Structure 1
Amino acid sequence: MRWFDPGQRWASRAPLVVMALVLLLTTAMSLVLAAFVHEQQYNRFERETSAYTEAMTARLAEYERLLYATRAAWQVHPDLLDGPAFKAFVAGLGLRQQYPGVQTVGYAALLPPGVDASPLVAQLRTQVSPTWTLRQGPSPQPTRAPISVLATTGVADYKALGFDLYSDPVRRAALQASERAETVQASGMLTLLQPGAGGQALPGYLLTVPVTKTGVNGSRPDGFLYLAVRADQFIEGLPASVAQRPFDFQLRLGTATLLGVPLPRTLDFARTVTRSMAGQRWTLEFGAGSSFGQDFAAITPLLTLLGGLLTAGLAFLVVQAQVRARSRAELLNESLAVARLRQEQARAEFEAIFHSMQDAAAFTDEVGLIRRVNPALRAQFGVDGRTLIGQPLSVLHADLGLGTQESFQAMTTPYLRADGTEFAGEAQRSPVVDPEGRRLGLLEVVRDVSERVSAEQAVQAARRRYRGLLDAIPYIVRVSDPQGRVTFVNAPHQDVLGTDDLMTCLSADDQQAYAQLCEDAIRHQRPEQQVLQLTLRGGERHWFMLTFAPFRDEREQVVEWVTSLTDIHDRVQAERLAQRNEERYRGVLEGLPQIVWLTDAQGNSVYFNRQWTEYVGAQRAGQDFLALIHPSDRGAYQRRWDSAIRATRPFEAEHRLLGRDDTYRSFVTRGQPVLDSSGQVIEWVGTSTDVDDSVYAETAARLLADVSGQLASRSGRSRADRQGSYQSALDQITARFVDSAGLWAVPPIQLVARSARHPGWDAPHMQTMVGQALRQVVSSGEGMALTAHPLLHAVSVSGILLLPLLAQDGTLCGLLGLAYRQQLTERDTELAQELAKRFGAALENDALQNRVSQAQADLRALNQSLEERVERRTTELEGANRELEAFSYSVSHDLRTPLRHIVGFGDLLSKEAGSAGLSPKGQRYLGIITESASRMSQLIDDLLEFSRMGRQEMRSVPIDLDTLMQASWQALEPDRHDRQVTLITHDLPTVNGDPTMLALVFTNLLSNAIKYTRHQDAATVDVSAITENDEVTVTIRDNGVGFDPRYTDKLFGVFQRLHRADEFEGIGIGLANVRRIVGRHGGRVSATSELGEGAAFTVTLPREASQ
């Protein structure tokens, strides 16, 4: 019934199951690979489309740079608005090679609303084309931008020339955008004005940039430079890897399609890229089919599927063969059962013998792998026998070289226990063969001989250790027996000395000393030492410490003598150097002018140089440094010192130190920690420098400066304020120098200010004592010092210093008194003298100021009387002047009647007599009479006008000088008749004044300019004005005959003329009248000139007229 065994049934189905699993795995792998290939294709698609996008972006950037370069050339070369010149310039750019797709480069002039286009048309017909005509598009605008000049890479038919770009909405939008942004802007999709080679219309777009050059349009540009780009040639010239695109492509400019066709939605790969460039939105759509980017990897999924099918078939056949082989093996197992039974019996016999062995034994199979071990081996190696089964014999050996040997006899070799320890074993190995001679394996028997081997190794190790130790130590060692024979020298003996014979390295004296040392050591049976010099291998001599000592056995018997030498040369040298440095260091410290001190790491003083004893005295030299510091400074010093010790940082403090004369002086103490190699403080070293003189000088200078500042601040004040300044100065002195101070002025002796701390100064007996001392100083003129008066103790002072205050001429002007507690030193006295000088100067200045004040009061009284006298004289002069002007007016008016008679009757006589009634001489006489009378009449009119100007009342109103100047110029039209006289006026401001009078001023100056330029073919009168410091300066400049600058001061006088009457008419009243009017306005007039180079008259008026 074995045919229906379930296990047998499953085994028969195993080939089909394996084949199904292989097919399922193959299918899954094919799908994964297909997805990977698709992802790889998409990455390649994205990479290539990105390269295409960047190439097109770079193309647009090149177009922008072309426009900017053309604009720069246009602004530099004004002659480009010329047809041939512009075409030559564009031809030099190499558009076809450098800028593919650019059809036209042109310039459109901008005509704002209201601007006449005729001048531009005339210019372009002359410089560009005789047939140039302005043409409008579908949407004309007030603003026009006709194409003025262009150059094209296509046909020579310039149809676009003259077209108004502003009349087309798309082109107008691009121009307006570029004007606003002042950068390159792109238009939308349009049809280019220039046709193709076959006359066909070409789609494309424009790139424009504004051109500002002359400012003819104000803030707007002069025109626009533009590029016309063909859509069909836009991508020409791109790199081959980009231009030969393996995908579908569409480019949209805004919403219009510039290149390509709409892409189908069924494509496997699609991508849209949007860029904003030149003011437009550029959209690029890419698409590709499933074959895009395919390579050999594309067929990998198919090959995987085919391979899987083949593998499934092979797996089916292999598994089927294995099932059949298993069936045959089961039949063979039944036949082997009997043979196995016999084998088990033989094994039992072998096991009994094998396990009864006392020595460790291991048995291997025919290839050398352990099959079994006996209990002795497990115990000896400390390992479970099962872990060794299947391992080679070499796992037992420390010497791996024995693993390949077939046999050996009685060999001692190291073995490894399971815990990693080694032991020595005596082993033998032999092969085991069956009766037929076939090798069944190897048998290795091991006996533990560790104790014997350890004993032998211990002896050898001790000997090696002894030798190695002596060779390794950095000392020279020599061993000799009791008879003196050398039995051993270590390696340093030979390396350092270069010989085994120690005696040859010693001098004769040292040899004798060494022999004596050995004799003493042997006699007393004890070690002996001595310092000797030895000659080294290189010939130099070093100091060594030689020790000769006995070596005893366990019975305390001397068996050997050991000589050791230690090189102490560096130590000896260092000690000698340190001793010399110590002596030199101490000498330097003792010679320094500062106090030098040393402390330990905790800050305790251990050394002071001799300056310490010289300053503090021998009695105080043993006291602590801190105890001699002034009590007011001691706390701060202690805190700084403790902080420096804790932080291990440099120390510095300023303090006062008590000296041997029981006085304190100012010192600056500085300390520095001395560190060892590990950064730990060894000691502190420092200096204390006497800075008392410099501190006192600084304090004195500061006190003198403060006192001088107080005294200087009283200048210009009243007497009470000056007394307060003196009080403040004395307070400064008592606060920082002495106990009390007083200031007296003389004569008579009068207290000015005082600063006293003790109320006892006001006592009558103190006032009497001070008064007597003051009178004595005044009488003698010399200072006085009171130090032994019994009354001084009542006010807690030890002395008074009275100093006379002298003026610069040596006269006594005051007294300064200083009361002090401590005895004044020489420098204190000098400071008091300096203070006395400053107070003396201050009192002298006060006296001078009082005299100046009195003189000023007298001067003010004198000025008051003078002003009254001047006012009376002015009133008298004004009355006389009015009478004189009235007399002049009356006389001039009375003279006009006879002069009119003379002129009138002279004219009648000339008419009655005729040309035949008088002789030529009579006619000449009559002409002279008539002409002289006319001149006299004009002179009288001018005198009347000059007199009237002095009496006329002024009125002040705002006057526009520009309008006033034009009105004066128009009034002089008869004087300019039949002459070419040009008036040039600049921006003239507005001033306040009398319009009638100022009109007369500028009419007179313009009339003179016209008169004195009559000899010029082209006369020019230039009027300009500048405003500065609330004044307006008007300059009238001509190119006439000018005048001699030496006579400028006579120019504005009455009846003063610098030219003859027969050259230029006039009587010399006009410029005098000009000066009088300008003077009444609070201004001034001047003139500059050179003969033959014209003249310049300058009128300066205040912006607000003088009343």
Structure 2
Amino acid sequence: IGQFLRRQRGEEAVRAGAQQLRLIADALPSRISYVDREWRYVFTNRAYEEWFGCAAAGLVGKHIWEVLGDEAFEVLRPYAERALRGERVEYEALFPFKVGGARWMSTNYVPDVRPDGTIAGFFVLATDISARKRSEESTRFLSEATELLASTLDYETTLSNLARLAVPRIADWCSIFTRTDDGVRPLVVAHKDPAKVREVEALMEQFPTSPDQKFGHPNVMRTGKSEFYPVVTDELLVAAARSPEHLRKLRALGLRSGMTVPLIVGGSAIASLTLVFSDSERRYSLEDLGFAEELARRAALAIENARLYGDVKRESAERQRTLEEFRDLNEHLEHRVLERTAKLEEITRELDAFAATVAHDLRAPLRVMKGFSKMLIEDYAGKVLDSVGQEFARKIDRASERMSALVDDLLSYSRLARQDVPIQSVDLEEAVDQVLRDMADQIRESKAEAVVRRPLGRVLGHGGLLSQVLANLISNALKFVPPGVDPRVVLRTTTDGDGFVRLWIEDNGIGIATEHQDRIFGVFERLHTPDRYPGTGLGLAIVRRA
């Protein structure tokens, strides 16, 4: 009796331990099972049972291939055989389960070694890593797609290549539609079987998509919103069909799951991308929809970059054409300017020669006029000519003097156009003193006072031209004063901060009104009649040219 009780207590302890072990195994999220040498399930935890949708009683005693399917068994078989030889095995593989479709699994096999060294079976620890694998594949695909999208700026070629990259990695079917003026048009349809592609292209040609369709490509491009069909129902095919024949052909395609996402550029959907599963058992999830929208976003960015590049290229070409036109115009203008300059130089030379000739030819009769007028005044004073004749002779003399002055000024003005002007350092005080000495008689006759506020400094210039400018300006200061006023001329200099010296010639004359200050520097420009203020009208013109 004691032995029986001890055995009974031992069996109870084993049952309690087994129950405790099950509780622990059921609490784990991983799929845990035990398989014997005959490939039969001896133990499965709750996660394993829930995965296949049946209780332990429905799994224990069954062969692995009965539960997983023949294709899945062939995937695991080489690894399990190693475990049955006593080897611990760890691997990752894609299992085409007969229930639930293909799944990526991370699996560990631990052999059950008896004390005598025999292998009774193996323990299985399986974890579904499909989500991780999808994420890795999505990342890999997006990287390849981005590289492909950046490989060319022809966006239609790029999108066609993208559709072919998508099949069969992320879809059995991939199509891209683009917007046209009349609606939408298919850009590319991709499938691993070219015959099926031709079949669908013929179907789309026979039954073109209506631009007013409330779902699919037209609606996605109209609204800019994605459409997601985790399961393509027959009701959806009926809604899309244009006729019984169309419906029959759509059903024949075996479409199972799909989604359509927009390609948005500049706030408007310019294309749409559709991914469909048909041949495989795979189904799209909301996570897949997010992946497809990211793919579409990158494709849209590539299209926008291609368009921007095209715009920049066209703008650059247009700018180049404009520059070439400007260059041609500039060359033409430069040629015209050279021609005109040459003509102007020729005309200027002719005018200068003409002025010199006229001045030379005028001097001869002037000398005769002046000589004879002097003879009349001096030799025949009080003899033959009366006082009126004497006055006429004096008028002839004064006229000849004015004409002589005019000829001299004309020659001076003409020479300034031809004269080389070498620049050198000039002492302003020496230049001013020399001019004042040369004009001493004129200053004395006009009862003028000339004041020089020294020092005046040195400047860079041409000594001869500077003296001519000083003489003309001082002569005007002596001449243009109100009646009864003795002229007063002050010469001084100031130095600007930029190193320039300004020479001031100030007088108490009648001045020049503001509105006449530009005009008075022209040739033969006068503000007063010669009988009031004599002169040739060339003095300030010579100053400006000098």
TM-score, structure 1 normalization: 0.25
Question: If you compute each CA radius of gyration, which structure gives the higher value, 1 or 2?
Answer: 1
Query: 1 or 2, which has the higher helix percentage?
Result: 2
